[in-house]
Amino acid sequence: MNQKTDFFKKAGSFLFDNKVMIAFAAICLAAILLSGSPMTFIVDGVFTRITRNTFTVLALIIPVLAGLGLNFGIVIGAIAAQIAVFCVVYWGLGGFGGMLLSVLIATPLAVLFGYLVGKLFNRMKGAEMIAGLILGYFADGLYQLLFLVIIGGVIPVDNPKLIISGGMGVKNTIDLTGNLKYAIDSVRMVDIVTVVFYVVLAVTLIKIILHLLKKYQLNKGDFIFFGIFGLLFGISYIPEIEKFLSTDRLILLDALTAVLIVLAILELIKIIKSIWINKEPLKTLVKPIVTLLVYGLIYALTFIPEIEEVLSYVKLPVLPFLLIAGLCWFNQKILSTRLGQNMRTVGQSQSVAMASGIDVDKTRVIAMIISTVLASWGQLIFLQNIGTFSTYGAHTQIAQFAIAALLVGGASVQKATNKQAIIGVILFHTLFIVAPEAGKQLFDNAQIGEYFRVFVSYGVIALSLAMHAWTQFKKEVQPPTGGADLEIPALPAVTVKQQTLK
């Protein structure tokens, strides 16, 4: 009896906590059905957009953690990336090398910008979000000044491909085909494996040197680590596998299978560990075994013809996904460091953090720098995938859409996870793809569908901000000070306050 009501309670609270995500999913579903678009089209579109946008959305997580709220200032990271791209295209460089150069230019710029933004936010504690919003517009203005007036105007540039005819200002659209387009997407898997192996080799050698210098203790983990990658590298020489790995794309079916296999192996390892090593009772096996069965089930489902057709249609570029996985891993990893713990503490309560000896201002600036750099890389991934550089528009919408996507996935101003980011991107962009067609079917007007999706993206943010402000306000009702010493400063009140917001 108790278990049943417990279950309903849990189900109820799950529904309530994730109401935004569920409502959005319902709208998505309705739109998909209404639009009548084929699933192959939708799934392909969604995965393309996942490739493009997820990295940027993931870059929003760390500021949320550190109490800076939704980072409307990622526009500035995108600007750093775009300046870099312009330089690289101007110098006529392309391919993966050109992309690396873009990273090399964009990163220090992003670090500088992130530092400045962080400093500004420290002067506006409690109003970071509105500050970020306005700052984004301000930076856009400066960017336009640079690209429209200075480049080509004050600094004459002679390049008809890049400059508006008449000589004043950079063109509205720059075609990246031939230089940076697909620079990341088109990296072959076999190349990735090779490079990764060499990097791991170098890292292991450094660890050995440090060990010899007595600065670092080598352990089993390091050798296993090296062994796995060495093994992978070796395997890649087998002809069939080499052939398979020589492409840059993986069809979704194969990707899904590979992921399922890896996850299944991880579960098996967990099971082996818990039985042989930790000697835990058999009932703890229930969860892992069920998980394995679920994986098996998913794999079985892929044999259904319609599903198989869709999965075979969609081709995924491998490197961006590896990068996304890498960022997810990074977001997790940083939490287990002192820096991450400091960020969490600062995010929970600046006053308690300060009293505990944490340098609050420095921690916040570091969080902003990381986020801005990640946003710049995200913008590079975005631009190389989309293939055309919309000079004056590429950076303006990304903050809005990235934040809306994050919120749709169930995140809030105080809490954001990798999972929420990914779910959010999927849901948000699905709606994006099907809305115009759905609008056409429903109202005989595709434009309405387009406007609807813009409305939803603004609305989701407005709703989330309002809900956050509501809970914030309830916690923070300021009473009179009860006669705190007026002329004579008393011990500074140290209260457990949640982050404030403006």
Partner 1 sequence: MKIREGETALDDQYLLSMKNISKEYFGNRVLKGVNLNVKPGEIHALVGENGAGKTTLMNILFGMPVIYSTGGFEGEIQINGESISIDSPHTAMNCGIGMVHQEFMLIPEFNVTENIKLGREIGEPTALSKIFGNLLEKMNWTQMSKEARKALDSIGMMNIDEYAKVAGMPIGYKQFIEIAREIDKTGIKLLVFDEPTAVLTEGEADRLLEIMRLIAKKGIAIIFITHRLTEVMAVADSMTILRDGEFVVRKDVKDITLTKIAELMIGRQIDKLVDDSLLASRDLSDNKIALEFKDYHVDMPGERVKGMNIKIREGEIFGFGGLAGQGKIGIVNGIIGLFDTQGDVFAFGKRLDLSKLGEALRNNIAFVSEDRRGVGLLLGESVERNITFTAMQIKDQFLRRIGPMKILDKAKADQHTREMIKLFDIRCTGPSQTAGSLSGGNQQKVCLARAITMDPKILIVSEPTRGIDIGAKKLVLEYLTKINREQGTTIVMISSELVELRSLCDRIAIVSEGKVFSVMKPDDSDAAFGLAMAGVREEEAV
Partner 2 sequence: MKTIKEIYESIGLPRLIIGLFFICLVVVSIILGFSPAALFSDVVRRWLMYGTLVLAMVPGIQSGIGLNFGVSLGISAGLLGSVFAMEISFLRNWNEVLGAGAPWLTLLLALIFGIIMATILGTLYGLLLNRVKGSEMTVSTYVGFSVIAFMNIVWLSLAFKNGELSWPLQGQGLRNTASLSGSFGGLLSNPDVVQSTQPAWLHWLAFKIGDFTLPLGLILVFALLCFFVWLFFRSKMGIAMSGAGENQLFTTSSGIDVDRMRILGTAISTVLGAVGIILYAQTYGFLQLYNAPLMMGFASAASILIGGASVRRAKISHVLIGTLLFQGILVTALPVANEVIKIGTLPEVLRIIISNGIILYALSKTKGGNQ
Residues 430-449 binding partner 2 (CB under 8 A) are 443, 445, 447-448
In the list 22, 34, 112, 127, the residue contacting partner 2 (rule: CB under 8 A) is 127
| Separation CA 338–CA 350 (nearest Å) | 16
Amino acid at 405: A
| Separation CA 494–CA 134 (nearest Å) | 31
Residues 6+ apart with CB under 8 A from 167: 152, 153, 156
In the list 52, 207, 429, 468, the residue contacting partner 1 (rule: CB under 8 A) is 207
User: Are the C-beta atoms of residues 159 and 167 closer than 8 Å to each other?
Assistant: no
What phi and psi, each to the nearest 5 degrees, are found at residue 389?
-100, 105
Q: How many CB atoms lie within 10 A of CB 292?
A: 15
Binding partner of residue 149 among partner 2, partner 1, none, CB under 5 to 8 Å per kind?
partner 2
User: Are the C-beta atoms of residues 197 and 229 closer than 8 Å to each other?
Assistant: yes
Q: Which stretch binds partner 1 (CB under 8 A): 25-33, 68-76, 173-181, 475-483?
A: 475-483
Distance of CA 246 to the CA centre of its chain: 28
- The token duo for 163 is 């400059």
Residue 95 contacts partner 2 per CB under 8 A? no
Among 10, 38, 15, 36, CA closest to 26? 15
Q: Which stretch binds partner 2 (CB under 8 A): 142-150, 243-251, 270-278, 422-430?
A: 142-150
Residue 224 contacts partner 1 per CB under 8 A? no
Binding partner of residue 470 among partner 1, partner 2, none, CB under 5 to 8 Å per kind?
partner 2
Residue 479 contacts partner 1 per CB under 8 A? yes
Residue 53 contacts partner 1 per CB under 8 A? no
Nearer to partner 2, 327 or 408 (CB): 408
Residue 354 contacts partner 2 per CB under 8 A? no
Read out DSSP for 236-248?
A: TTSHHHHHHHTSS
| DSSP H/E element including 249 | strand 249-251
Residue 348 contacts partner 1 per CB under 8 A? yes
- The token duo for 174 is 């720059």
Binding partner of residue 501 among partner 2, partner 1, none, CB under 5 to 8 Å per kind?
partner 2
- The token duo for 261 is 């296999």
Residue entry with tokens 């309405």: 448
Nearer to partner 1, 283 or 338 (CB): 338
Residue 148 contacts partner 2 per CB under 8 A? yes
Least distance (Å) between residue 57 CB and partner 2? 18
Residue 356 contacts partner 1 per CB under 8 A? yes
Residues 473-492 binding partner 2 (CB under 8 A) are 473, 476, 478, 480
Nearer to partner 2, 8 or 443 (CB): 443
Per-residue contact string for residues 435-464; x = within reach of partner 1 by CB under 8 A? ------------------------------
| Separation CA 382–CA 54 (nearest Å) | 9
Please give the DSSP secondary-structure letter assigned to residue 497: -
Binding partner of residue 102 among partner 1, partner 2, none, CB under 5 to 8 Å per kind?
none
Please, what is the angle between helix 338-348 and helix 318-335, to 10°?
A: 70
Amino acid at 444: D
Residue 359 contacts partner 2 per CB under 8 A? no
Q: Which residues bind partner 1 (CB under 8 A)?
A: 203, 206-207, 210, 215-216, 336-342, 344-345, 348-349, 351-353, 355-358, 366, 479-496
